[in-house]
Amino acid sequence: MARRVLFNLFAWSIVLAVAFPLFWMIVTSVKPQFELFRRPPTFLPDTVTFEHYRTLLARTNFMIYFRNSVILSTVTTFVVVFLATLGAYSLVRFRYRGRESLAFLVLFTYLLPSVVLIIPLYLMLVSLGLSNTILSLVIAYTTFALPYALWLLRSFMAGVPEDLESAALVDGASRLGAFRDVILPQLLPGIISTALFTFILSWNEYLYALVLVNSDGARPLTTGVMSMLISAFNIEWSLLMAASVMMSVPLIVAFAFLQSYLTRGFGAGGVKG
């Protein structure tokens, strides 16, 4: 018993140490400005204030960035998951020439570094007159989100038993009918998982946003919040920490309600391949 308690104490102190920066982010965001610079620092705030959140929402461009990020990530997720679901169905359940090579092209692009694509993409989007638009980011995000979603959905699709589809076909359903009525319901958890990962990936993307957008009207949260750091004369850490907390809200929601989908996605795409 004593060993068990000791082990738990040991394990939990590591877990808490790992989580400490996140705890510190939340604490800092609710401390009044003067308390930030107190020596020694207070671990729990003496006075809790939400003034930084109010400032953030009322007096900065944060809400514009937030809106841009929501639109951007949602559109990217819908487009990518739609394409990838059809694509994965085709890659796993159909036989045609070039199918294998295609599957490995997907894997190859899944590993491709963004910096290789960014220069030609930048030139392409500028010549199309799309620079500084949310649409340009949707197009750019497809380059990493689509291979990712395809690869993930491909392994989810492989997990749907083939017999189910055959049975439906024997009963006279068409391929697409069987896909809609039999496969899609089976695949739904995988689709949710993939959508969640795609959304988070787009929500967190930085490099393309940095290169392709430099107007506040189209800037997403990642580059937007960083620009608040650079433009501020003296860095207001509590404001930045409040922005960080707000930026993580979708993530916290996902963790609270959809955690099983998150871990499922890990198993499917990350390592099993």
Partner 1 sequence: MPAPRPTALERQYARLGVLLIAPTVLVFCAVIVYPLVSAIYLSLFQIFTPTLQGSWVGLDNYRALLARGEFWTSLQNNLIWTVGTLTLQILFGVAMALVLHQNLWFRSLARSLILFPYFVSTVVAVLVWKWVFNDLYGILNHFMLTLGIIDWPIDYLGTMPNAMISIILVGAWKYFPFVVIAVLARLQTIPEALYEAARIDGAGPVARFFDITLPQLREVLVVIILLRAIWDFKEFDLIYLMTGGGPVIATQTLPLLVYKEAFAVNQMGMASAYAVVMMAIMLAFMIVYIRRTRERG
Contact range with partner 1 by CB under 8 A, out of 53-61, 160-168, 186-194, 204-212: 204-212
Taking the least distance from each CB to partner 1, the nearer of 35 and 186 is: 35
What span, in angstroms and rounded, lies between the C-alpha atoms of 103 and 158? Answer: 13
- Which lies closer to partner 1 via its Cβ, residue 28 or residue 68? 28
> Is 214 one of the binding residues for partner 1 (CB under 8 A)?
no
Binding window for partner 1 (CB under 8 A); candidates: 51-59, 60-68, 182-190, 206-214:
206-214
Structure tokens at 136: 């340009």
In the complex, minimum distance from the CB of residue 188 to partner 1, in angstroms, rounded to a whole number: 18
Q: Is residue 105 part of the contact set for partner 1 (CB under 8 A)?
A: yes
From the list 57, 119, 188, 232, which residue makes contact with partner 1 (rule: CB under 8 A)?
119
C-alpha to C-alpha distance for 229 and 181, rounded to whole angstroms = 51
Among 109, 131, 132, 133, binds partner 1 (CB under 8 A): 109
Binding residue for partner 1, selected from 6, 108, 167, 185, defined by CB under 8 A: 108
From 2, 34, 40, 129, residue interacting with partner 1 (rule: CB under 8 A)? 40
Residue whose tokens read 């083939």: 162
By CB under 8 A, what part of segment 122-151 binds partner 1?
A: 122-124, 126, 139-140, 142-143, 146-147, 150
Question: 68 — phi, psi (to 5°)?
Answer: -55, -45
Q: Is 176 in the site for partner 1 (CB under 8 A)?
A: yes
Question: Does residue 74 touch partner 1 according to CB under 8 A?
Answer: no
Among 223, 167, 160, residue whose Cα is nearest residue 190? 160
Of 50-58, 160-168, 187-195, 245-253, the window that binds partner 1 (rule: CB under 8 A) is 245-253
H runs (alpha helix) in the chain:
2-29, 33-36, 51-59, 62-93, 99-111, 114-127, 134-158, 162-170, 175-178, 184-204, 207-212, 221-231, 237-247, 249-265
Q: Does 70 bind partner 1 (CB under 8 A)?
A: no
Buried b / exposed e across 23-61, counting CB within 10 Å, b at 16+? eebebbbbbeeebeeeeeeeeebeeeeeebbeebeeebb
